[in-house]
Amino acid sequence: MVEKPNLIQAVRSAVERAPPRKFQESVDITVNLRNIDMTQPKNRIDETILLPNGPGGSVKIAVLGRGDITTQAKNAGVELIIGPEEIERLGGEPREARKIAGEYRFFLAETAMMPLVGRHLGVRLGPRGKMPMPIPPGTDIRPIVQRLRNSVKIRTRDKTVFHAKVGSTDMTPEQIAENIDAVMKKVELVLEGGAMNIRSVFVKTTMGPAVRVI
């Protein structure tokens, strides 16, 4: 793992070298892996990682269900609530379903809705790694929503490279560096060879040049 001062300097350099923009940019990392067969499902990464300083910007969450879970979702400020009739309707509207799958970062669904979700929306959500987290009856979803708003999803599938949002340009280099550190510690933990499976790490803003971290 790269030492914290060097990580902070890499982040600072990436932000400073980015051309001025009139909008807030994301800060992302690109991680290249090595010496690992990603065609084997057991070697793939599929993790939701809590960032100590959040990812910056808004993280849109959708809740699928009815009754108490929808009331909680409204209280938690969830951006989209989808009832069973709407789930079925979206199954026949592939363009609209694809748009929702791309726009919303995380999905939650009451357990009883999961078969319906799988039948009508599984083809849109599954390939994106966005099948809903099942929520048992009586669960308070508010802390779950809050945690997800501060998390990032890492999913490699069969590729030896992945990208992750680790902050935004309105955050300090120290905050972004802490987020990168949290991601890399988790990734090293789940990789069979740990740090030996990491070839390189780069950090960049949305429109800026990449700066090598490792």
Digits of tens for pLDDT over the chain (214 positions)? Answer: 667 889 999 999 999 999 888 888 999 999 999 999 999 999 999 999 999 999 998 899 999 999 999 999 999 999 999 999 999 999 999 999 999 999 999 999 999 999 999 999 999 999 999 999 999 999 999 999 999 999 999 999 899 999 999 999 999 999 999 999 999 999 999 999 999 999 999 999 999 999 999 9
Residue 157: predicted pLDDT: 87
pTM over 0.85: yes
Handedness of CA 99, 164, 175, 75 (dihedral sign): positive
pLDDT of residue 5: 82
Distances in whole angstroms, Cα of residue 197 to Cα of each of 30, 36, 165: 14, 7, 21
Residue 34 dihedral angles phi and psi, to the nearest 5°:
-150, 160
Q: Which pLDDT value is given to residue 22?
A: 80
Where helices occur in 47-83 by DSSP H, the ranges are 68-75
- Cα–Cα distance between 83 and 90 in angstroms, integer? 11
Residue-range domains of the chain with CATH:
4-56+152-212 (3.30.190.20), 61-148 (3.40.50.790)
User: How far apart, in whole angstroms, are the C-alpha atoms of residue 7 and residue 11?
Assistant: 6
Instruction: For CA atoms 11, 173, 183, 77, give the dihedral sign.
Output: negative
